[in-house]
Structure formats: structure tokens, C-alpha cells
Amino acid sequence: MDKLVLKKEDTYKLQVNDQGEYIEFDLTDLGLPERIMNASENIAKINQEYLSEIAKLEKKYKDDEINMTKAIIQLERNKCLQMREEFDSFLGEGACQKIFGNKNRYGMFEDLFDSLEPHFAKMEINIRKAKEKLVKKYLPNKSDVM
């Protein structure tokens, strides 16, 4: 039986660590921009929840620094797990593990998003090109229409 081999000419590949691991974006995937926008919205919500919950914890544990620190650490751990899930939703399963390993620090996700932004701009150009390529390939030419 023959193997199915797909061409990978319309991918955007980023090396994400010193071990030579990559994440790839399929620029012909028309769902990619939507996944990026949805994740971006969800990341903003997670951040708002984080800030709101920090304010609540500061009021609750105003005079109890030890328990406030414990609560903030737990909150940050939970929010980091949510952030990893959102980033993996468009970067690919396990991407955050490749990028960060087992480290968790709440601010690292903002750094990651800032680092990705220039690449999104480059991909947008290629996504448009890929869409045009797909249209040319799969939609009939005017001369083919009866």
C-alpha cells in the first residue's frame, strides 16, 4: 500500500528552542486566523480574570502575607495552565512544552505573544497568497463555466 504524502510548501516554520524543535503553521488552513483570533480573545479574558482575582486576594489576605502568597502562586499556576491550553490551540498540541519546558511564569505568555506578532504579520501575507492559490486551484475558471 502506498503512503499518503502531502506537500508542505505553504507552511511557516519557527524554531522554538535550542534542541532544534519547531512549530509549524499550515498557511493553507483557513481556520488558522480564526483560531489565532479566538485564542487572543480568550487570553485577554484569562488576563482580566487574573487581575480581578489578584485584587480580590489582596483584599482577602490584606494582613496575611503568607496565605496571600500561597493563594497567588496557586492562581498563577492555574492561569498558566489555561494560557498553555489557549496557546496550544493555535500553535499546535505540545507547543508550549517545546517552548517553555516545565517552567511557568505568568508573564512569559505576554512575552511569547509579543515575540509571535511579527511572525503573524509575515504569515498574513502568506495566508492571503495561499487563499488565492487555493481559489485558483479549486474554483473553475470563467472559461470552464457554461
pTM of the full structure? 0.78
Instruction: Using pLDDT thresholds of 50, 70 and 90, give the confidence band for residue 68.
Output: very high
Pick 14 or 10 by higher pLDDT. Answer: 14
Residue 40 predicted with pLDDT over 50: yes
Residue 127 predicted with pLDDT over 80: no
> pLDDT value at position 145?
47
Residue 47 predicted with pLDDT over 80: yes
Query: For the chain, what percent of residues have pLDDT higher than 90?
Result: 58
Residue 52 predicted with pLDDT over 90: yes
> pLDDT value at position 11?
85
- Indicate the residue type of 76: E
Q: Please give the mean pLDDT across all residues of the chain.
A: 86
- As a whole number, mean pLDDT of residues 35-60 equals 94
